[in-house]
Amino acid sequence: MAIVFAIACALLSRWQFARNDEARIEVEHIEANYDADPVAIASVLPALDAWSEGVKWTPVSLRGTYLVDEQLLVRNRPYNGSPGFEVLTPLRLDDGDVFVVDRGWVPSGNAQDAPDAVPAPPGGEVTVVARLKQGEPELAGRTAPAGQIPTIELDDIATALGRDTYTGAYGLLDSEDPAPATRPLPAPEPALDEGPHLSYAIQWIVFALFGFFGLGYALRTEYRARRADAADPDAPPAAPRRPRRPPRTGRDRSDAEIEDELLDAR
């Protein structure tokens, strides 16, 4: 049991080390890209379905027209503990391709499972700066009412739009020009924190050692229980005593022993 427990702890420790590596890489991407100058989208996404982890959080500059009638709300998106939606508004670029822009967060309505109001995007031509993020996986079995989606699955969005749409990435809105009077709450900045994964990994190693300490303690306890009747339970057991030699018979007794026996009888 101690060995099986140690193996399980080792596997969990390796998993936490892997999570720590992922968090460290994420921090590196944030430090390298988040505050960089905006670049043309074609320079980082050469194809509609292109994606590389190295371009995550990179600001891109886009110019086009919002397709307000194609706007979607992403369900179940909490913000500081409050339920709400993320607002996805497709942006038709000057070359005809469509890029999905996450314009921010709006709270759930007071009387319905939808926002009370969604701030409108600017009309006409607009210049947008957005930070790239990869699309999300599909959630099997999740459904949503018309105009809402359960997850940002870009292939499904592209199919619904029926247009040439970027499916490798979407963008978190940073700025719009011209700026609207009001806009959804912007996404919070990502934290430059690797999290507790490294400490968890070390804890699992310590837990594995505790398993062997527990094994040693159990062995010592059992040993002391079996030696409970001894004067010192921690002392090693005494060597077995040699059995006493049986008394000699008349055939193998010496003359002196026979004479002593006769004198004793008198």
Residues counted in the chain: 266
pLDDT at position 252: 61
∠ at Cα 185 (180, 191), nearest 5°?
A: 130
191: confidence class by pLDDT, cuts 50, 70, 90: confident
pLDDT at position 233: 59
In a domain, 182, yes or no: no
pLDDT at position 249: 57
Whether 24 and 42 map to the same domain: the answer is no
245: confidence class by pLDDT, cuts 50, 70, 90: low
190: confidence class by pLDDT, cuts 50, 70, 90: confident
Domain closes at, from 147, 177, 207: 177
Overall average pLDDT of the 172-177 stretch: 95
Which residues, including other chains, have CB under 8 Å from residue 152's CB and lie 6 or more apart? 74, 86, 88, 100, 102, 135, 136, 170
pLDDT at position 114: 85
23: confidence class by pLDDT, cuts 50, 70, 90: confident
| pLDDT tens for each residue of 44-76 | 999 999 999 999 999 999 999 999 999 999 999
Residue 250 has pLDDT above 80, yes or no: no
Residue 262 has pLDDT above 80, yes or no: no
Residue 134 has pLDDT above 90, yes or no: yes
Domain count, the chain: 2
In a domain, 108, yes or no: yes
pLDDT at position 138: 83
Which residues, including other chains, have CB under 8 Å from residue 83's CB and lie 6 or more apart? 76, 77, 107, 108
The tokens of 116 are what?
């009370």
Whether 83 and 204 map to the same domain: the answer is no
Residue 92 has pLDDT above 80, yes or no: yes
Q: Is 247 exposed, middle or buried (0-12, 13-18, 19+ CB in 10 A)?
A: exposed
Residue 253 has pLDDT above 80, yes or no: no
In a domain, 232, yes or no: no
Q: Which residue has the tokens 């339920």?
A: 83
Name the CA dihedral angle for 90, 93, 97, 103, rounded to a multiple of 10 degrees: -20
Answer for the pair 16, 205: CB distance below 8 angstroms, yes or no.
no
Domain closes at, from 151, 177, 203: 177
In a domain, 247, yes or no: no
Whether 2 and 91 map to the same domain: the answer is no
pLDDT at position 65: 96
Overall average pLDDT of the 15-37 stretch: 89
Whether 30 and 130 map to the same domain: the answer is no
In a domain, 58, yes or no: yes
Answer for the pair 73, 105: CB distance below 8 angstroms, yes or no.
no
Q: In 3-state terms, what secondary structure has residue 8? A: helix
Alpha-carbon distances of 207 from 21, 131, 237, rounded to whole Å: 21, 41, 34
Domain extent, residue 29, equals 1-34+190-222
Alpha-carbon distances of 85 from 68, 72, 107, 183, 187, rounded to whole Å: 16, 9, 6, 13, 12
